[in-house]
Amino acid sequence: MAIFNILVFPGILFLVAAGLWFEFVDRRMYARMQNRQGPPWFQPLADFIKLLAKETIIPEDANPRLFAAMPVLALTATICAFFYIPLWNTTALFSFQGDAIVVMYLLTIPTMTFFLAGWYSTSLYSTLGAVRSLTQLFAYEIPLFMAVLAPAMLANDWSLAGITKFYAAHPLLALLNLPAFCVAMVTLLGKLEKVPFDIPEAETEIVAGAFTEYAGRHLALFRLAIDIEVIVAGSLVAAIFLPFGLTLPWWLGIIIYLLKITLVVALIAIMRTIMARLRIEQMVNFCWKFLAPAALAQLMINLVVKGFLQP
């Protein structure tokens, strides 16, 4: 049963299918908001198969083993993070005290692989993209950690399953985390490298950022990892900030879970439509001037409320 859970549902196969599907949803919403038709539903799948079947090029100056290992590492880390997140009920596939922090670190690994992939490609554009993605990491990582861990502090539990259990029992307290939800959504745009924070892969400035030298199979795995990262990040936000409908029957729960992911993807698509790309120093300024204080304020609120709640 555990093998089935890991490989098929809600494991790797489900994640791949959901990742490709929600990439389509994102691109379709983007297209409709631009008043055009957009791609057909199989488009991400066709892109993926085509890239798998293309020639794989490794630059002469690159370290071939690291170059080939980075996409696999990114994919593995995102899939691992998924197993600790409760989806449509209050239990995760695996759970222990402190897995909220482990999931956050597992979600940092893809960014590190983007950096290493760009750095070891040794091309100018790749190096620029790599450095940018690391600079961006320093800006969004701390507000994101504070925003995700403030609800954990209020719940007095450091496992994601425990946090969702607490908020499912006290739905009104979940509303208290609204500022942290906003901070988390904005910083997730940075983590997923979506507009307006797609500075590391700015195609009009530095070709394709860290992925410039990647072709064929490696690029396909990187794209899949990014698609799956969207699902994992959406599930994390849904589990922590939207703990509603978790006690319903499983089929209703799954529908509500998919609706929550759709909400997160829709927010990302709307942001992509209405915003332009920021410069890197604007992004860093914004994160440290506004997001970090907002996350700190959330921490203060949760501390005060926790003091009142405890007898």
Partner 1 sequence: MGLIQKIVTWARIKSPWVIHFNTGACNACDIEVIDALTPRYDLERFGVQLKGSPRHADVMVVSGPVTRQSRDRLKRIYDQLAEPKFVVAVGTCACSGGVFQGCYNVEGGIDQAIPVHAYIPGCAARPEAIIDGVVKLLSSLDPKPVAAPPAEPVEKEAASA
Residues 256-285 that bind partner 1 (CB under 8 A): none
Q: For partner 1, give the closer residue by CB, 159 or 212.
A: 212
**Single residue of 7, 9, 13, 34 touching partner 1 by CB under 8 A:** 34
Identity of the residue, 47 or 112, whose beta carbon is nearer to partner 1 in the bound complex: 47
47 binds partner 1 (CB under 8 A): yes
Interface residue with partner 1 among 158, 179, 216, 248 (CB under 8 A) is 216
Name the residue among 117, 102, 99 with its Cα closest to residue 193. 117
For residue 139, the minimal CB distance to partner 1 (Å) is 24
Query: Measuring CA to CA, which residue among 142, 108, 114, 143 is closest to residue 129?
Result: 114
Q: Which residue type sits at 302?
A: N
Number of Cβ within a 10 Å radius of residue 214:
27
Q: How many residues form the binding site for partner 1 (CB under 8 A)?
A: 34
- Helices 124-155 and 99-121 pack at an angle, to 10 degrees, of 180
Residue 164 CB, nearest approach to partner 1 (Å): 37
Closer Cβ to partner 1, 38 or 253, answer by number: 38
User: Which parts of 217-236 interact with partner 1 (CB under 8 A)?
Assistant: 219
Count of all residues that appear for the chain in the document:
311
Q: Candidates 27-35, 95-103, 145-153, 267-275: pick the segment binding partner 1 (CB under 8 A).
A: 27-35
- Cβ neighbours of residue 248 under 8 Å, at least 6 residues apart? 256
Contact mark string toward partner 1, 176..215, x via CB under 8 A: ---------------------------xx--xx--xxxxx
x/- contact string, 117-136, with partner 1 (CB under 8 A)? --------x-----------
The residue (of 47 and 253) whose beta carbon lies closer to partner 1 is: 47
Pattern 56-85, partner 1, x by CB under 8 A:
xx----------------------------
Residues in touch with partner 1 (CB under 8 A): 27, 31, 34-40, 42-43, 45-50, 53-57, 125, 203-204, 207-208, 211-216, 219
